[in-house]
A and B are shown apart, each in its own frame.
Chain A
Amino acid sequence: MQAHENVKKWFKAARVEDFPKNGGACVKYRDKQIAVFNFTRRGEWFACQNMCPHKKEMALARGMIGESKGEPKVACPFHKKAFSLCSGENINGEEEPVTTYPVKVEDGYVYIGLTTD
């Protein structure tokens, strides 16, 4: 995940309760699609690009989140390529990494940190 310091703009995405527990949902920001995950079990939030680098499907938000040796990850629903939610690296293959975004929650709203405005 990128550090909060680099954030130029916090985009107010949606209310906390719009996101399923221990799962993800897709947020639209201009013409970007960003997958946001509410990892309730860890009490953490994560975000990454919605497009899976494998077959370019807009799908990661519908993927299953989990953890492997302590590392939080999301597995694409199409062919189960898994990406670290911290570094974006493809854990079980050699796909390109995905872009990850910082997330913060304030007053019941979920914000995504963007480094460009």
Chain B
Amino acid sequence: MKISDRKEIVVVGNGMVGYKFCEKLVAKQGNEAFNITVFGEEPRPAYDRVQLSSYFAGADEDDLQMAPEEWYEEKGIALYTGELAVDLDRKHKTVTSQKGRTVTYDTLILATGSSAFVPPIDGVDKDGVFVYRTIEDLEAITKYAAGASKAAVIGGGLLGLEAAKSAMDLGLKTSVIEFAPRLMPRQLDEIGAGALKTALEGLDLEILLNKNTTLIGGNGTPEYLDFADGGHLEADMVIISAGIRPRDELAKKAGLEVGERGGIIVDDQLQTSDSDIYAIGESALHRGMIYGLVAPGYEMADVVVENLTGGEEKFTEFDMSTKLKLVGVDVASFGDAFGESEENSKKVIIDNKAKGVYKRINVSDDGDRLLGGMLVGDADDYNMLLQIAQNGFSLPPDPVDLIIGDRDEESGGGQKVYEFPDNSIICSCESVTKGEICDVIEEEGKEDIDSIKSCTNAGTGCSGCVPMLDDLLTQSMEARGREVRKVICEHFDYTRQELFDIIKVKEIHTFDELLDEVGQGDGCEKCKPAVASLLASAFNEHVLEERDTIQDTNDRFLANIQRGGTYSVIPRVPGGEITPDKLITIGELAKKYGLYTKITGGQRINMMGARVDQLPDIWEDLIEAGFESGHAYGKALRTVKSCVGSTWCRYGLHESVSFAIRIEERYRGLRAPHKLKGGVSGCVRECAEAQAKDFGIIATEEGWNLFVCGNGGTNPQHAKLLATDLDEETLIKYLDRFLMFYIKTAEHLNRTSTWLNKMEGGLGYLKKVVVEDSLGIGEELEIEMQQLINVYSCEWKEVVNNPELRERFTHFVNSDDVDPSVKFKDYREQPVPAPAGWKEKG
């Protein structure tokens, strides 16, 4: 096509939807038929606003970016960032930016998004009052928060709660102020909102309802808020999150029709009142509705691209299902959350106040279809329920079964994604169907999640559907009789389990030998630590002999690396029991080396801030005092937590401390696919939280109950009961089998819970293997475990006594200087890492 025949497309707004429009257009047509020009007001190319809060968790600009500047260049798109479009001349079909740049369009796309709505409260213009929408807002908030102590967030909706969580994470005491009588009024009913309130208060967030803020008072910066009901609240920082206002100023000025309360009016083709101008995303007002979510915006982008490239598509209504992220309490609403779309719809409710869980689903009058619902406190069923509602799947005879949870546990079953109809939407952000994903797997032969993501775009938005993609991949391969092989990386075409067998059978003791025998290339940061862990599980030899450089940094220096490059020191304190003398030693050592001390969540003491060259000296002193490595750095047994038990406790049935120590000493140093934690409680009151551990032991009148495969962490899961009323010897026998079976068969970096979740046959099968010895490998597992236990020795002790290993613990090889970039500041009478650029006073 001749350059002059190309259509000029101008996009105003380079936010999520504006970007998505460009991406979809060039994907569909290449850059042959159009010239694309984009104006973006913000100083950087479009970024993922949905994940904005992850900025506080350490994500930086690059992590959030939708595509780098080079992408636009590559695609021949002229991108002008930091340029607000200020003038739209419809007669001459031009757009002019505030820098005076004028471009001509054939078709204009307005993707101007929205801005935060700031209610006209007295004092909103003070320094220290923020909105929460852009990277700049978050930068300003972070900076201001350093000198603040109490935040007030005005608005208790989806965004307000997210902002409140961020304020709390910045260390501020935080209150949420909501005008309505309940939180998230658009997504939750009264009981649901009540459950959410209770849960958030449990996280130390103050919630004030029915509050109309009339004044943000203070001298220059906020000091307090006044409410219409006479109430008063101290706060030195304010975040306003009271709703959004569509950015329709450019459209309005040019005489396009806009809604009474804002928004550029569009029809089902997303055309504005001028047929050469389209509006998409949060600035578009469609059938009286502004969609404040990204998925409908993407759908709008898609519709316009279709229509510009000869297709015919319409944007009709769009599902507003959402799952609240980050706040620490699961909340989701989907479909028709309030059951208002049909007459006589019936609601089915679980209101479990003891667990803080509220689930409500709305079912059609005939009980055949799921209309929608809401989940608070436990949203595990969200994806499944959303699928059922969107696809009109038939319901079980008693719909309450849908939300009871933990059903069918023994068989490990549930409804299979693979059996969904092909047109069911799996990724709602990118509107990708099950059929499209299966095509990529089955026709194009893509058999890993990354390829599926890049081929279909599924899972690249909120990433909520990634677990379903994973299931779909596995189930599709199984359905075709294909073995699902999770190979380690490009250097080994084997699964972890296969490599483990090879190492044992061929008695391979080093990484290079293994690579020469069965691998290719020179290895990488994926296979090296995985093999290191396998070698350790196979032979339990010292992790540094001949293999220091294939260990993850924490294993290589036998300590966890921390901000600024110093390390932490955590000696083992079996069962959490420690003598006064040892406590004194720790105190003295921390003073001697200038370390920060803290009681850990695992019932022991962490000394932090040790320079790499200090580590061997500190450990020498510790070992001298009778301590040994706590393996806090390894994918290995960490702690076996205990409660005080029958020695002291009036309820204790048996001696939980003694048993915990016995078990911790038995398995100390045991390397596994992931870290292992245990707990022993002296009675059902469960003060050791054993049911949150990889293995948990709880005393009963008759003996001990054994629970397995629990964990806290990112996805907490309760441990499941494996066997009851065991004596100590039998329990240890089962535990040997269980742990060794896990070590031999799990994938690298799968905790026991993940391993069990993937196990065909689930808990029932595990019971058979461990308790009934159905595979006849019980004795073999016990022997293998005993061999590992026999060769245990403290790895720090060996380093301390081995001059050659000890020499590796320096910062420079050619100088005894310490790393000059390591700096500390005083913080509550202890040293902590000083931020970059920090200078000592005086």
Out of B528, B553, B812, name the residue touching A66 (CB < 8 Å).
B528
Are B812's CB and A27's CB within 8 A? yes
Given that A69-B490, A70-B521 are known contacts, is A93 also in contact with B549, CB under 8 Å in the complex? no
Q: How far is the CA of A59 from the CA of B491 in the complex (A)?
A: 25
Q: What does the 1/0 interface line of B515-546 toward A look like (CB < 8 Å)?
A: 10000011111011100000000000000000
Stretch at the interface among A2-10, A17-25, A98-106: A17-25
Are B813's CB and A13's CB within 8 A? yes
Provide the residues of chain A in CB contact with B548, threshold 8 Å.
Answer: 20, 23
Q: How far is the CA of A71 from the CA of B605 in the complex (A)?
A: 42
Are B813's CB and A68's CB within 8 A? no
Are B525's CB and A82's CB within 8 A? yes
Are B817's CB and A68's CB within 8 A? no
Are A63's CB and B553's CB within 8 A? yes
Provide the residues of chain B in CB contact with A13, threshold 8 Å.
Answer: 813-814
Q: How far is the CA of A33 from the CA of B51 in the complex (A)?
A: 35
Tell me the chain A residues, 2-44 only, with Cβ under 8 Å from chain B. 13-14, 18-28, 31, 33, 36, 39, 41-42
Are B522's CB and A58's CB within 8 A? no
Say whether A47 faces chain B, with CB atoms less than 8 Å apart: no
Q: How far is the CA of A19 from the CA of B820 in the complex (A)?
A: 21
Are A39's CB and B814's CB within 8 A? no
Closest to B69 in A: A94
Are A66's CB and B524's CB within 8 A? yes
Are B522's CB and A39's CB within 8 A? yes
- CB of A100, distance to nearest CB on chain B (Å): 18
Most chain B Cβ neighbours within 10 Å, of A14, A22, A31, A36 = A22
- CB of B609, distance to nearest CB on chain A (Å): 15
Q: What does the 1/0 interface line of B472-499 toward A look like (CB < 8 Å)?
A: 0000000000000000001100000000
Q: How far is the CA of A18 from the CA of B164 in the complex (A)?
A: 52
Provide the residues of chain A in CB contact with B815, threshold 8 Å.
Answer: 28
- CB of A58, distance to nearest CB on chain B (Å): 5
Q: How far is the CA of A13 from the CA of B812 in the complex (A)?
A: 10
Q: How far is the CA of A106 from the CA of B779 in the complex (A)?
A: 56
Main secondary structure of the interface of B (DSSP, over half): loop
Stretch at the interface among B244-252, B267-275, B386-394, B556-564: B556-564
Say whether B808 faces chain A, with CB atoms less than 8 Å apart: yes
Provide the residues of chain A in CB contact with B811, threshold 8 Å.
Answer: 26
Closest to A21 in B: B549
Say whether A64 faces chain B, with CB atoms less than 8 Å apart: yes
Are B813's CB and A25's CB within 8 A? yes
Say whether B257 faces chain A, with CB atoms less than 8 Å apart: no
Say whether A77 faces chain B, with CB atoms less than 8 Å apart: yes
Out of A21, A42, A54, A56, name the residue touching B522 (CB < 8 Å).
A42
Are A58's CB and B565's CB within 8 A? yes
Q: What does the 1/0 interface line of A50-76 toward B look like (CB < 8 Å)?
A: 000010111100111111111011010
Closest to A27 in B: B814
Say whether B550 faces chain A, with CB atoms less than 8 Å apart: yes
Provide the residues of chain A in CB contact with B552, threshold 8 Å.
Answer: 64, 77
Are B821's CB and A58's CB within 8 A? yes
Provide the residues of chain B in CB contact with A54, threshold 8 Å.
Answer: 60
Q: How far is the CA of A84 from the CA of B304 in the complex (A)?
A: 41
Are A26's CB and B813's CB within 8 A? yes
Are A28's CB and B525's CB within 8 A? no
Are A73's CB and B524's CB within 8 A? yes
Say whether B94 faces chain A, with CB atoms less than 8 Å apart: no
Provide the residues of chain B in CB contact with A41, threshold 8 Å.
Answer: 512, 515, 522-523
Are B524's CB and A75's CB within 8 A? yes
Are B813's CB and A19's CB within 8 A? yes
Closest to A96 in B: B62
Say whether B65 faces chain A, with CB atoms less than 8 Å apart: yes
Say whether B87 faces chain A, with CB atoms less than 8 Å apart: no
Provide the residues of chain B in CB contact with A59, threshold 8 Å.
Answer: 561, 565
Closest to B529 in A: A64
- CB of A56, distance to nearest CB on chain B (Å): 6
Q: How far is the CA of A89 from the CA of B612 in the complex (A)?
A: 28
Provide the residues of chain B in CB contact with A80, threshold 8 Å.
Answer: 525
Provide the residues of chain B in CB contact with A20, threshold 8 Å.
Answer: 548-549, 808
Provide the residues of chain A in CB contact with B561, threshold 8 Å.
Answer: 59, 62, 77-78
Are A94's CB and B65's CB within 8 A? yes
Are B549's CB and A65's CB within 8 A? yes
Say whether B784 faces chain A, with CB atoms less than 8 Å apart: no
- CB of A53, distance to nearest CB on chain B (Å): 10
Top 10 A-B pairs ranked by shortest CB distance? A23-B549, A66-B524, A77-B553, A75-B525, A67-B522, A25-B813, A28-B812, A14-B814, A28-B815, A18-B813
Q: State the B residues within 8 Å of A (CB).
A: 60, 62, 65, 68, 490-491, 512, 515, 521-525, 527-529, 548-550, 552-553, 556-557, 561, 563-565, 808, 811-815, 817, 819-821, 836
29 contacts between A and B (CB under 8 A): A13-B814, A19-B813, A20-B548, A22-B512, A25-B813, A26-B812, A27-B813, A28-B814, A28-B817, A33-B821, A36-B813, A42-B522, A57-B564, A57-B565, A62-B556, A64-B524, A65-B549, A66-B524, A66-B527, A66-B528, A67-B491, A67-B521, A67-B524, A68-B490, A69-B490, A75-B525, A77-B552, A78-B561, A93-B62
Instruction: With A14-B813, A59-B561, A94-B65 given, name 7 new contacts (CB 8 A).
Output: A13-B814, A28-B812, A28-B817, A31-B820, A56-B836, A62-B553, A67-B524
Q: State the A residues within 8 Å of B (CB).
A: 13-14, 18-28, 31, 33, 36, 39, 41-42, 54, 56-59, 62-70, 72-73, 75, 77-78, 80, 82, 93-95
